[in-house]
Amino acid sequence: MGVAEVVGVLNAAVPVSSGEPRCWVNAGWSRSVDLEGAPRWAGLDPGASDAEEVRGLIAVLVAADSLRSAKAQVAGFLLDVWCLGVKNALPPEPMTASQLAEHRHAYFSAFEGYVPVPAEVARALVFGAADYARGLGFEAEADFDAAAAVLGEPVGPCPIGFGKDGKPFYVNGPYDDPEAIVRTLRRAVGDDGFHYAVAFPEQPRRRLFRARR
C-alpha cells in the first residue's frame, strides 16, 4: 500500500472529534518508540516497514480549527524520542486548507510520507518525549509552550516507551553540543546508563565515535 493510499484509508478510519485538533505523524513513527503499553496504536501506522531505517526522530504536525476563522492554527514538533525530547517546535501559524496541504507536504518531505493519528496519540508522543527528556536533564526548546497550546493537554499517564532498547540513545545533530549532552547524560544515568553515536565537529561526519552499543 502506498503512502497516498495509507493516508486515504486512515483519514476515513480516524474521525476527528469535535474540538480536537487534526494531527499527522511521519509514516514509520511506531518503529521508533515502544508501544507495548498501547499496542492498538501500532495499527495506525501501516506504512511502517522493516526495510526502512529506524531513526529516533519523529515529526508531528497539528492543526486546530477555529470557530472564528476559516484558517486553522498549525503547529509542528520535531521529536528526538530516544533522548533529547522536543528538538524543535514551530509556534502556531494561521493557514487556509490549501496552505495547510502545501505546508504538510513540505513538513514531511524528509520522511517516507505521513499518516493521520488521533490527537491522543500526538499528545502522548509530544508530551511524553518532553517529559522523558526532562527526566534526563534536557528542557524543550523555547517555542514549545506556544506550539503545545494548539495540541491541548494530555489525559492520564503516557503509555509510550521512549529511549532505545530501554536506555537513552543520543545521536547528535548539526547544532548540538555533543560533549555537553554526554556530560548531562552521565550525570543523569551514569556511564553505563545510556548509549551514543557522536560525530564531533573536528571529525568528518562519516566517522562516528560510538560507545556502549
Read off the pLDDT of residues 120-143 as tens digits, 9 standing for 90 and up. Answer: 999 999 999 999 999 999 999 889
Mean pLDDT of the chain: 85
For residue 97, give every residue at least 6 positions away whose Cβ sits within 8 Å of its Cβ, in sequence order, or none. Answer: 72
| Residue 106 main-chain phi, psi, to 5 deg | -70, -35
Q: What is the pLDDT of residue 126?
A: 97
Name the strands in the sheet holding 22-26, side by side, starting at the edge strand that comes first in the sequence: 85-95, 72-80, 57-64, 22-26, 114-117
Could you read off the pLDDT of 51-81 as tens digits, one per residue? 567 889 999 999 999 877 889 999 999 999 9
For residues 142 and 167, the answer to whether their CB atoms sit within 8 Å is no
pLDDT of residue 12: 35
* More reliable by pLDDT, 116 or 207: 116
Band the pLDDT of 91: cuts 50, 70, 90. very high
Q: Which of 5-19, 79-93, 140-154, 161-175 has the lowest mean pLDDT?
A: 5-19
Given this model, what pLDDT does residue 62 score?
98
Q: 97 — phi, psi (to 5°)?
A: -60, -40
Q: What is the pTM of this model?
A: 0.84
Q: What is the CA radius of gyration of the chain?
A: 17
| Tens digit of each residue's pLDDT (9 = 90 or more) over 1-37 | 444 434 443 443 333 334 899 999 999 999 999 999 9
The answer to whether residues 58 and 150 touch, using CB atoms and an 8 Å cutoff, is: no
pLDDT above 70 (res 48)? no
Distance (Å, rounded) from C-alpha 139 to C-alpha 64? Answer: 25
pLDDT on residue 204: 44
What pLDDT, on the 0 to 100 scale, is given for residue 210? 45
**Residue 33 grid coordinates:** 518508540
Averaged over 167-186, what is the pLDDT? 93
The CA distance from 136 to 143, in Å, is 20
CA dihedral for 197, 199, 205, 210, sign (positive or negative): negative
Per-residue pLDDT of 199-210, as tens digits, reads 755 544 433 344
Q: Tell me the percentage of the chain whose pLDDT exceeds 70.
A: 82
DSSP string, the chain: --HHHHHHHHHHHSPPPTTPPEEEEETTGGGGSB-TT-GGGGGG-TT--TTSPP-SEEEEEEEE--SS-SSEEEEEEEEETTTTEEEEEEEEEEE-HHHHHHHHHHHTTTTT-EEEE-HHHHHHHHHHHHHHHHHHT-PPPTTHHHHHHHH----S----B-SBTTB-EEE--TT--HHHHHHHHHHHH-TTS-EEEE--TTS-TT--EEE--
Q: Are 82 and 164 in contact (CB under 8 A)?
A: yes
